[in-house]
A and B are shown apart, each in its own frame.
Chain A
């Protein structure tokens, strides 16, 4: 009993350490970009643009982190996002639907995937990778069945919502015509920040949150502690599914179109963001705030690469790969040093 509790405390401080590394690296990178690349990065809107473009990824990554903390993985989130975009697009555009109902559709689709995948992983004990791989193929296939052609949604209420901008006071800048342009964020960013705050609180202060860490850290001792391991895993996948639903709608709200190729690779970006944010693939370690900064780091790197005038497509991939390696090495070195210290 005391051993389990002790290891839990240790894990949480590991989490904090990795989180600190992530945040420091992000700020160093961003300030470096401001100094060396100036122009685009000097304006606050640059940061808000990153948030606007990645609101959906932040939400998807939160779900991913939770599943990864319990020691699982969910690679269906990109496919689910594409499916949601397509279903909502067809519903709004071709059936003349209502925006509130489309939000409901999005969340229900996410919930459906969460329920089925969670059940298969937790109660039938199938490998999460295989289950969610099937989920991904299913979602991508269904997207094409719903509609093969990409198209833009012209539903008025939806377009109005999509173009709604929340002005951030005092952060605007003057453009070269001498006009003051307000800084703004899209609605999705507000949703993403709310999700980050709620999930952070859930992981920190609820029994459920602590169970996630315990199950991922060592499911045997979690079981001995009287934690319902199966139920915890099930809830983690369910939560990830619902977040994929919300993230899917936020993605749809940002792009305003349906296409079978939407959000391709989003699951991999979510995994990368979680890892950069200090979540460990082995489970038991991770933090939502870290994930948030993981997403920001990932897209800042992409911005730096592109504004440095390098050919984006492959350079981005290479820098992200380098960054992942760096973080994994730093993580394992830090962990190794720590273990050594505690043994002594």
Chain B
């Protein structure tokens, strides 16, 4: 009985062994055939490209996205999916990393293995990309980084970066405020400002605070009463604004570094019996310009909102088209961003807004 079992097991072990060998042989066979096909050809690269083109004429793009944690992120994903369609000559392989760098690393290695033509990476964190980017470079696959940035020892590891210029958003908010005050004839009046900051040290917070700060310096009559971290959330925005209203009875302007904090601030202001918006006591400037914020603007509660454009797909597509033509692409590219204020046709804008 026991002997029979041992025999059976031996058979199974041998069987598994043979199957595994077959699998590996089969797979290495596949690559060896390609190899022998390409070796006699005088121009290795050309032949490879032809081989790739034979199957389909699409440009194969692998896109590793952070996840789907916010409306902005979802709008960004939609932008890529809408741009890299088969009608536009692309074949998009989309990988949702669900907020994990390990998933992104695996997705990138799979892209490299599949020999996609381009890789788009929206990195979850800034560090830890050197090894995989080197692998992509060795495989001759250009990597385009979108939205968030990467910190690498060698800048040539990625081809280009595309994203928002948060500092520019801050500067433009400052310039808008200067124009607006001038329009009201308050350009020499003392203007008291408070800022609800985003999560400290995040790219968006640093850029927006810094950009607005540059304009602030140019105006002696503007006073920044206080800047405080409200973590990009509505509840914190409301709490901090309540504190501000108690501490400073005569606030003229609130700068809120994203829409969620703005909603909190509006509630705090209304609860304190004050009004805000174009016809109110307090000027509110917000960032992100989501649909809900434009709605609030249409209701007369926000003075101006500066967009953080999730529509990165077309810009990345432009870069790929340039590279396809053999041209160089600019290393850093900022997406075009606009702003909204009540002088525009808000209802129409809200309807066509993607997030």
Q: List residues of A whose CB falls within 8 A of some B CB.
A: 9, 12, 16, 19-20, 23, 27, 30-31, 34, 38-47, 49, 53, 150, 152, 163, 170-171, 173-179, 181, 204, 254-257, 261-262, 289, 303, 306-307, 309, 311-313
Additional A-B contacts beyond A40-B110, A43-B31, A177-B140 (4; CB < 8 A): A23-B19, A47-B23, A261-B99, A306-B107
Q: Are the CB atoms of B102 and A255 closer together than 8 Å?
A: yes
| A175-B138 contact given A43-B27, A49-B109, CB 8 Å threshold | yes
| A152-B128 contact given A171-B24, A178-B48, A307-B114, CB 8 Å threshold | yes
Q: Are the CB atoms of B31 and A178 closer together than 8 Å?
A: no
Q: Are the CB atoms of A31 and B23 closer together than 8 Å?
A: yes
Min Cβ gap A263→B in Å is 9
Q: Are the CB atoms of B139 and A309 closer together than 8 Å?
A: no
Min Cβ gap B288→A in Å is 24
Q: How large is the interface on B (under 10, 10 to 19, 20 to 34, 35 or more residues)?
A: 35 or more
Partner of A41, one of B16, B27, B34, B49: B27
Taking CB atoms, residues of chain A closer than 8 Å to B30 are 34, 38, 42-43
Taking CB atoms, residues of chain A closer than 8 Å to B206 are none
Tally of contacts, chain A with chain B, CB under 8 A: 116
Q: How far is the CA of A256 from the CA of B93 in the complex (A)?
A: 26
Taking CB atoms, residues of chain B closer than 8 Å to A53 are 102, 106
Scan residues 62-106 of chain B and give those whose CB is less than 8 A from a CB of chain A: 68, 91-96, 98-102, 106
Scan residues 321-348 of chain B and give those whose CB is less than 8 A from a CB of chain A: none
Taking CB atoms, residues of chain A closer than 8 Å to B19 are 23, 27
Which of B4-12, B154-162, B180-188, B220-228 is the contact stretch?
B4-12
| A176-B52 contact given A41-B27, A47-B23, CB 8 Å threshold | yes
Q: How far is the CA of A173 from the CA of B36 in the complex (A)?
A: 12
Residue of chain B at shortest CB distance from A170: B28
Partner of B27, one of A47, A150, A254: A47
Taking CB atoms, residues of chain B closer than 8 Å to A176 are 45, 48-49, 52, 115, 139-140
B214 at the interface (CB under 8 A from A): no
| A44-B24 contact given A34-B30, A289-B16, A306-B107, CB 8 Å threshold | yes
Taking CB atoms, residues of chain A closer than 8 Å to B5 are 12
Taking CB atoms, residues of chain A closer than 8 Å to B113 are 39-40, 43, 45-46, 49
Q: Are the CB atoms of A150 and B125 closer together than 8 Å?
A: yes
Q: 25 A-B contacts, Cβ less than 8 Å apart?
A: A9-B1, A23-B19, A27-B19, A31-B26, A34-B26, A34-B27, A40-B110, A42-B31, A43-B31, A150-B125, A152-B128, A170-B28, A171-B24, A174-B38, A176-B48, A176-B139, A177-B139, A257-B128, A261-B99, A289-B16, A303-B110, A306-B95, A307-B114, A309-B92, A313-B96
Q: How far is the CA of A210 from the CA of B11 in the complex (A)?
A: 21
Taking CB atoms, residues of chain B closer than 8 Å to A44 are 24, 27-28, 31
Min Cβ gap A180→B in Å is 9
Most buried by A among B31, B110, B113, B115: B113
Min Cβ gap A145→B in Å is 21
Q: List residues of B whose CB falls within 8 A of some A CB.
A: 1, 5, 8-9, 12, 16, 19, 23-24, 26-28, 30-31, 34-35, 38, 44-45, 48-49, 52, 68, 91-96, 98-102, 106-107, 109-110, 113-115, 125, 127-128, 131, 138-140
Residue of chain A at shortest CB distance from B60: A39
| A312-B110 contact given A176-B140, A177-B140, A289-B16, CB 8 Å threshold | no
Most buried by B among A12, A40, A309: A40
Residue of chain B at shortest CB distance from A39: B114
Taking CB atoms, residues of chain A closer than 8 Å to B12 are 16, 19-20
Min Cβ gap B87→A in Å is 15
Taking CB atoms, residues of chain B closer than 8 Å to A313 are 68, 96, 98
Q: Are the CB atoms of B139 and A181 closer together than 8 Å?
A: yes
Taking CB atoms, residues of chain B closer than 8 Å to A289 are 16
| A255-B93 contact given A43-B30, A176-B115, CB 8 Å threshold | no
5 smallest beta-carbon distances between A and B, as pairs? A40-B114, A42-B30, A173-B31, A177-B140, A178-B44
Min Cβ gap A186→B in Å is 11
Q: Are the CB atoms of B131 and A30 closer together than 8 Å?
A: no
Taking CB atoms, residues of chain A closer than 8 Å to B31 are 42-44, 173-174
Taking CB atoms, residues of chain A closer than 8 Å to B128 are 152, 256-257
Taking CB atoms, residues of chain A closer than 8 Å to B95 are 306, 312
Q: Are the CB atoms of B115 and A175 closer together than 8 Å?
A: yes
Q: How far is the CA of A30 from the CA of B31 in the complex (A)?
A: 16
Min Cβ gap B60→A in Å is 9
Residue of chain A at shortest CB distance from B102: A255
Taking CB atoms, residues of chain B closer than 8 Å to A306 are 93, 95, 107, 110
Q: Are the CB atoms of B38 and A23 closer together than 8 Å?
A: no
Q: Are the CB atoms of A46 and B23 closer together than 8 Å?
A: no
Taking CB atoms, residues of chain B closer than 8 Å to A20 are 12
Taking CB atoms, residues of chain B closer than 8 Å to A43 are 27-28, 30-31, 113
Q: How far is the CA of A38 from the CA of B127 in the complex (A)?
A: 33
Residue of chain A at shortest CB distance from B48: A176
Q: Are the CB atoms of B98 and A309 closer together than 8 Å?
A: no
Q: Are the CB atoms of A181 and B49 closer together than 8 Å?
A: no
Min Cβ gap A75→B in Å is 20
Q: How far is the CA of A23 from the CA of B5 in the complex (A)?
A: 19
